[in-house]
Structure 1
Amino acid sequence: MSVIYSTLASLANRISDEFHNSFLFTTIFSILGFVENQWVNSYFKRFYPSENFLSFLNNNIILKKHIFNPLIVLFVFALFLLLSINPPSTSLVITLIIAFVGFFIGSAVISRIFLNKPFDKIVKFDRRDIYSIGFILFVISVVFFFVSIASVGGIPLLKPSIRYLLKPAFTMPVFLIIPATCLICSAYLNDFQMEKITRSRVRFRFLLLLIINCAILLLLGYRTPLLASFLIIIIMGFYGNIVSLWEVVISAIIGIGAIIGIGYFRSLGEMTITSSTNPFHTLQSRADFTLHVLNLLDFIGGTFGQTHGHLLISSIPGSDLGPRMMVGKLIAWRTEVTVTPTLIGQMVVDFGKVGVFVEMCLLGFILGIGFKIMQKTKNYFYIGLYSLILTYTILGVETGILDIQVLLYFAIAIFIYLTNIVKIDF
């Protein structure tokens, strides 16, 4: 594996250098450098609230130390369930309890067994490699953004009806902007930790990348990837001492507002609601529908499951039906629609209540190990990696972890974490 990584990193570095030395990118980075200097030296910065703004938040140990602990997944899941208008069935309540217990055991109990020795053998990654890989992924995503726009002949945000004409073959590469941003921000975080750039400069670069992400993903009309970019920046910024606790709390409020707002205006554009409808209705109805789907999947899956891994395997490109289309077929025999099954929907259909416990325990263990490594090493790469998988787990509370690229991120994280466990504990 080290040979494969070295080859890919070397190739990425060469391609990245060629881009950076080109006239186009030299001009772009010169302009960005000028804007950054104006930002850093701006007179108006002094009007921005200081680190001690809303200082009472720092007195809350849970918020200050554990706001992005893996157990936040259970908190978000519980909040999502409370949004539903109708209660879950008795069988589903049992399944949910099993899921919550499994996740807690994996993240808070089993993860404590490992990585209790000195971290002198931890796998380390070169900053240049990480930046180059992230930069190339970023360029690819921007290119495919323009290809996607051209393929439908308009901007989906302005014409919601053409959003359904977007081709997955073009939009999937656009979503690479999320791991790309994660890797680039990791490199900038390393520069900050090594005192090569100031806190003001790294904050500007984080903000700039977030703005570019928001512009691209919002214009395509996608809400979940937009929230992923937002969450990754916030989590990385918090653990990298770039973002203050009060900024995290305010960002969470803004994020919730964005979820409600985008969903509301999209529903207005698609004429599924009227302007007199309560904006919270779209969020509640979505949660209620998703919980109803989960009720049906729980009934189908039973104790030992029904599809025995086929739903997860359907994530692989080339499958007759994608995982969310397969869910649509299972509950309504409609293969032309995609249905979100929540975090445990795939688990219960594939392997039943037994599978829910095992998979949630494994998921909790992955996040627990990632959190432990990040806290002990403060390493820029592991902050980025944990931020990436925690973000998709939180968003997966509604959508499920079923996209092939997201499964790939988890596979990479598992490989890296297990490699560290073997090197450190054995």
Structure 2
Amino acid sequence: MIWKREYINNKLEGHHLFLILTSIFIVLTSVSYYTGILVLFSALVFYISFVVGKRLYSILELDSLLNETNLQISKSKNRHKINYLKHYIFGLTLMIIGLFFLVLDILWAGGVPLFDLTSKKFLSPFYTMLSRLLILGWAIVVASNLSLDKIRAIIYSLIFSSVVMLLGYRTSVVVLLMSTLFVLYYTNRIKNRELLLFASGIFILLLLLSIIKLKILGSGGIPLLSRMDLTMSVLDIIVHNFNGVFNGYLIYCAIYSYFGMAPGPRTVVANTLGIQGVTITPTIFGGVIGDYGILGIVPYFGILGIFMGFLYRIAESFKGIYLGVYAVMLSYLLVAIETGILDLDVILYYIFGFLLCVYILIKKYRLYFKVKNPIDILIKKE
């Protein structure tokens, strides 16, 4: 019975969710067997690498930074104390900046894209990118304020998601809600059952938004499923006809398109397929295969998995800004199964997460070299 209890208490982690969602995309769409196998293989590489990243955290003994014994041995100036108040203030600052640029973006467009689709094309990519700092800031605030109960956190999240929704991007709404749930989940404020319940609510919301969009556009098809099928069919085309053709151009466009120096990566995909005037998402797998070829799957998802697994263990232990950033990154990763990681702000979040990992490693080894022999220090004190 003990092993059963431990199994039940285990949390759903990023690699579980990534593999589950990837499998759903394969099963529910008409993707070819060959492409489906590639997608599943990519997800498995990520899954295994994620576990390796978690193990790496344990090997490096980073939990010792939070070990009370080690902190008492070290001098007070060398202690790694987490100032959650600073994290909280930083999160609030990001929220204010994001809200400011969201309002500025709407004024720039001359209308509210949620109610006026024509104004959406006039949104400033730069302002839109900065407006999403509201999402990151809110995740950090929830992760830093552990006294914030789940009910208030969810109510505030719904309010902020309504604000973000004004720009007309479903992805931003989904990421805000998902990242909030992940923060609440990994701080033990909600359990597995509640996570699944709230996730179902997000799915229903996404379904409603898809239905509304189809009605406005006058399109037919099954909401969500039609989009999934279209996206996977694009992946099929990339796998069979554009394997490694872009040579990194998609990621180049993801960065430089925000400065007006290149077209958007999804526009490039659409134009390559002979479609003009629209953008097409290639999935996270299509972006990798189109840029680096099928052989790029292993290093890409291998490195990504190790990184995400390592950051997950840091976030789980240190909470605060680490958990907030991880929750947003995980949310974007799951969404990227369909959209791809092809936005500058998302790429910057991953760079930020990497820098947080480096920071923790530096703190660990600064402490290690400062306190090489704790026993000698205790003897000297006596």
* TM-score in same-fold range (> 0.5): yes
**Amino acid across the alignment from 2:269:** V
Return closer, same or farther for 1:165/1:238 CA change in 2, 3 Å cut-off. same
Residue 121 of structure 2 corresponds to 164
> How far off is 1:216 after superposition?
1.0
**Amino acid across the alignment from 1:218:** M
Corresponding residue SS for 2:283 = coil
Residue 211 of structure 1 corresponds to 158
Residue 335 of structure 2 corresponds to 395
> How far off is 1:97 after superposition?
3.8
Distance 2:82 2:351 in 1: 17
Residue 246 of structure 1 corresponds to 193
- The answer to whether the 8 A contact 1:236-1:384 is kept is yes
Distance 2:104 2:322 in 1: 33
Task: Provide the TM-score with structure 1 as the length reference.
Answer: 0.74
State the Cα deviation string for residues 202-222 of structure 1 (Å, max 9, x = none): 335423430232111222222
Residue 136 of structure 1 corresponds to 93
State the Cα deviation string for residues 210-237 of structure 1 (Å, max 9, x = none): 0232111222222111010111111111
**Amino acid across the alignment from 1:369:** F
- The answer to whether the 8 A contact 1:148-1:166 is kept is yes
Match of 2:266 among 312, 320, 324: 324
Return closer, same or farther for 1:135/1:246 CA change in 2, 3 Å cut-off. same
Return closer, same or farther for 1:235/1:110 CA change in 2, 3 Å cut-off. closer
State the Cα deviation string for residues 273-310 of structure 1 (Å, max 9, x = none): 3xxx6xxx0211101110011011112443xx222222
- The answer to whether the 8 A contact 1:232-1:391 is kept is yes
Residue 354 of structure 2 corresponds to 414
- The answer to whether the 8 A contact 2:132-2:172 is kept is yes
Instruction: Report 1:52-201 matches (<5 A).
Output: 64-84=9-29, 86-90=30-34, 92-109=35-52, 111-116=54-59, 117=61, 119-121=63-65, 125-189=82-146, 192=147, 201=148
Return closer, same or farther for 1:154/1:98 CA change in 2, 3 Å cut-off. same
- The answer to whether the 8 A contact 1:160-1:269 is kept is no
Distance 1:183 1:326 in 2: 34
> How far off is 1:396 after superposition?
0.7
- The answer to whether the 8 A contact 1:294-1:342 is kept is yes
Residue 203 of structure 2 corresponds to 256
- The answer to whether the 8 A contact 2:165-2:172 is kept is no
**Amino acid across the alignment from 1:144:** F
- The answer to whether the 8 A contact 1:68-1:235 is kept is no
- The answer to whether the 8 A contact 1:210-1:230 is kept is yes
- The CA RMSD over aligned residues, in Å, is 2.5
Task: Provide the TM-score with structure 2 as the length reference.
Answer: 0.82
State the Cα deviation string for residues 27-55 of structure 1 (Å, max 9, x = none): xxxxxxxxxxxxxxxxxxxxxxxxxxxxx
Distance 1:328 1:163 in 2: 19
State the Cα deviation string for residues 357-383 of structure 1 (Å, max 9, x = none): 1111111111211222334x2533332
Match of 1:373 among 314, 327, 343: 314
> How far off is 1:149 after superposition?
2.6
State the Cα deviation string for residues 94-151 of structure 1 (Å, max 9, x = none): 4224312321231123542443225234776532332222222211222222223333
Match of 1:225 among 166, 172, 184: 172
Residue 223 of structure 2 corresponds to 282
Distance 1:62 1:257 in 2: 29
Return closer, same or farther for 1:419/1:148 CA change in 2, 3 Å cut-off. closer
Gaps of 5+ in 2: 67-79, 369-382
Distance 1:374 1:410 in 2: 14
> How far off is 1:88 after superposition?
1.9
Distance 2:361 2:295 in 1: 26
**Amino acid across the alignment from 1:347:** V
Runs of 4+ with >6 A deviation: none
Distance 1:380 1:126 in 2: 9
Residue 295 of structure 1 corresponds to 236
Residue 373 of structure 2 corresponds to none
Return closer, same or farther for 1:343/1:60 CA change in 2, 3 Å cut-off. farther
Deviates more, 1:258-267 or 1:140-149: 140-149
Corresponding residue SS for 1:120 = helix
- The answer to whether the 8 A contact 2:48-2:305 is kept is yes
Return closer, same or farther for 1:61/1:263 CA change in 2, 3 Å cut-off. farther
Distance 1:406 1:229 in 2: 13
> How far off is 1:78 after superposition?
1.2
Distance 2:111 2:8 in 1: 43
Deviates more, 1:160-169 or 1:402-411: 160-169
Gaps of 5+ in 1: 1-58, 193-200
> How far off is 1:327 after superposition?
1.4
> How far off is 1:343 after superposition?
1.4
Corresponding residue SS for 1:227 = helix
Q: % of aligned pairs identical?
A: 23
Match of 2:344 among 404, 407, 415: 404
Distance 2:114 2:99 in 1: 17
